[in-house]
Amino acid sequence: MSKHFDYYLLTCRNLDMINVMVYDFHGAFESFVGHYAPLYASSLDVTDEQKTLNVAAGIQYWLDEGADPQKINIGLGTYGRGFSLADPNNSSLYAGTYGGSEAGPYTREMGVIGYNEICELDSDWEYTWDDEQQVPHIQNGNQWLGFDDQKSIQLKIEFANSKNLGGAMVWSLDTDDFRGLCGNGPYPILNTINQYLN
């Protein structure tokens, strides 16, 4: 048994739970488009490193190292990360960017947007669902925002259930749609987690 493997087993034995933050894989700290928390890799992910920057690979790593699945909580976001596209006509993964998206009225940080802020956006944003990565993004001109919604959260919870994980952790409560502006009642992300988590 390797020292690396022993470390994971020792760590798991001494912890009640392990919150695995499988998000923030991409963001304005890079110079290209990437979803902050894709469930699976894209066909455009070609390097070994690129293929690991997703929820499924992140969780599987801990399981492969011997972590008890019942101690693992899948990390979920109620926010997203965005970019200012270098070319508004090229919004594919790995398209060039020149910084983060415009700051939202509450988070007030370029490149970060709460789900509650997304729910307040005008209808001229175009919604796109990525069938490979199983996550959405929206675009308006040169602004590209990748985030989680009820559909992607449900799929992540179903993935967690399939791996017999212990539960979920959320970052953060204050950026869920607590006023119900997206039309699904207040706290749609949290309610989706509660509905589908075994």
| pLDDT (mean) for 37-63 | 97
Per DSSP, the residues of 87-107 read STT--STT-BEEEEPPPPTTT
Which residues form the domain of 59?
3-196
Q: Report the C-alpha dihedral over residues 144, 147, 154, 90, rounded to 10 degrees.
A: 20
**Of 139, 98, 92, nearest to 118 (Cα)?**
139
Whether 120 shows a pLDDT value over 80: the answer reads yes
Q: How many domains does the chain have?
A: 1
Assign residue 181 the CATH number of its domain: 3.20.20.80
Averaged confidence pLDDT in the chain: 94
Note the pTM of the prediction, 2 decimals: 0.94
